Structure formats: structure tokens, C-alpha cells
Amino acid sequence: MGTAERHQTSADDAAVRSAVRQRAEAPDRDIPAEGRAARSAGRDASQQRAQEQPDYRPLWVEEPARRRRMPDPVRTAAVRAVLLVAVTLLQAMVAFLCTMAGSWLAFPMVLSSIASTVVATWGVLDVWVTRQVWNQRNGVVSIPSSTARALRRERRRARRQARSAERGQARIRRRGSAGQLSHS
């Protein structure tokens, strides 16, 4: 039984269960009272069967990520590096197969593989450099706290104090000029 069929049968089971619940809750007014009792006994048995059947379980359960997401510039560089490495490996494989087959294309492919290896190495180094630059600019997040975070906190505190002192000076200047009636 495939996933779609399993999902369909679980949806059918859920529909049957909800219909049974609705029928049990709303009595039919046109059926005599003794008929209702016999019918409710049948409903109880069908409800019990519905409860015994296992509910639909998802194929996987999503868990929170263990590692934080890479910053956008680093992720972009990493994708670029993976593509360059993949193309380099493909070229190297084609160069090897052309060499084994004795094709004229072997020599150009070997040369392009060498050039591609240089470019792929640059791409991998680019990921490392981009990551280092990003960490330097935005602070290294470490456990339990980061040095960069503490420095930013201190800078913010100093800026706040400077702003509040500046506001206080402006307030004093305004009061001083407003409080004087004339020059003495």
C-alpha cells in the first residue's frame, strides 16, 4: 500500500469516525425509542472498532535544527564552491575516460581540468574567507556568550549615556534661556 493510499484510507477512517460521533450525538426523531437503544448499541461497537484502529502517523517528524543556519553570503559562497567542485570532478572524469579511449579530446580536457581545479580551490577558499569576514564583522557566536556581543553591549551603553547627557545639556540650555527675563 503506497503513501497516497494510506493517506486516503486514514482520511476515510477519520470521516467514518466523525460520522459515527455525529450520529451518536444527534438522535433521529423519527425512530421509536426502543429502536434508538438497539441502534446506539451498534454505534458503540462501531466506535470501539474505530478507536482500536491505529491513527495515521506521519512518515517523519520534524525536529529543530541542531546547528544555526549559515549567513547568506557564506551560503552563497558554499553553493558556488560545490558547483565548481562538481564541474571539476566531471571534467576530470571525462578527461580520464577520453585518455583511456585514446580520443583527441583527452589533452584539451586535461588542460581544462587543471584550470578548473585551480578555480575550484579558489571557490573553497572563498567560502573560508567569506565565513571569517562575516564572523569578524558580525561577531562570533559562542557559548555561553560572545566577546563581540559584550563589546557591542558596551558600545550601546556608551552611546545611550552620551545621548542622555546631550539631552540633559540641551534641557539645561533651554531652561537657562527661557528663565532669563533680560540680560543682567
Give 19-61 pLDDT, tens digit per residue. Answer: 555 554 545 555 555 555 555 556 666 666 656 666 777 888 8
pTM above 0.75, yes or no: no
d(CA 133, CA 95): 36
Measure the CA angle with vertex 36, ends 32 and 41; round to 5°.
160
pLDDT of residue 135: 87
Backbone φ and ψ of 173, nearest 5°: -60, -40
What residues contact 120, with CB distance under 8 A and at least 6 apart?
81, 84, 85, 87, 88
